[in-house]
Amino acid sequence: MIMINRKIVVRTLGAFLFFSLASVAGAQTLTDKELKTRVAEIENPLQKIVQLEPRQFEYKTKDYKYLKLSEGAQYGFMDDNVKKVFPGLVKEKKVSYMFGKNAYRDAKVSTIDESGLIPVLVASIKQQQEEIEMLKAELLKLKKETAGK
């Protein structure tokens, strides 16, 4: 990540450059519709979300000191689970770390773009809300039918 004028973050992934705006609260994603193509609704969002298996875990901080992993209980997903449901959200990243004096090694780690789950979660909530409204209407209809008997 490279900070330019404390406002623009440039990230590289392979041969691609990604730009996003940075704010005090964190990074923001470019949302300009002019930049997007093949825009479509998310199909079966709830069906996809229920396939995810959230986990509580602890990192092996002693085995992987060079990654500077957080201590204590963590919450998230396992990369293989997310990759089955949302393959585009899992990426491999090369991490260089110091090994001895002036010597470096590379390690490959998987990363999950959890912010990519937000639109799917919103679509899932909307889908559930539609189902709730339909069930409420059905229940109201049944109550009216049974009240007249």
2 in a structural domain: no
Q: What is the CATH number of the domain that holds 94?
A: 1.10.10.10
Over pLDDT 90: what percentage of the chain?
A: 58
pTM score, whole prediction: 0.71
Residue 31 lies in a domain: no
pLDDT tens string 7-54: 444 444 444 444 444 444 456 677 788 899 999 999 999 999 999 999
Residue 139 pairs in a beta bridge with none
Closest to 110 (Cα-Cα) out of 87, 128, 129, 139:
87
In a domain, 35, yes or no: no
Residue 3 lies inside a defined structural domain of this protein: no
More confident residue, 60 or 98: 60
Its domain, for residue 100, covers: 43-140
pLDDT at 100: 76
- The 3-class secondary structure across 65-124, one letter per residue, is HHHCCCCCCEEECCHHHHHHHCHHHEEEEEEEEECCCCCEEEEEEEEECHHHHHHHHHHH
Give the chain's domain count.
Answer: 1
CB–CB of 18/28 below 8 Å? no
Which residues make Cβ contacts (< 8 Å) with residue 135, sequence separation at least 6?
none
The pLDDT assigned to 14 comes to 44
Residue 5 has pLDDT above 60, yes or no: no
Task: Give yes or no for a contact between 120 and 49, defined as CB atoms under 8 angstroms apart.
Answer: yes
- Whether residue 6 lies inside any domain: the answer is no
* 22: DSSP letter: B
Residue 50 lies in a domain: yes
Q: What tokens does 107 get? A: 């390690």
pLDDT of residue 120: 98
With respect to residue 11, please indicate whether it lies within any of the assigned structural domains: no
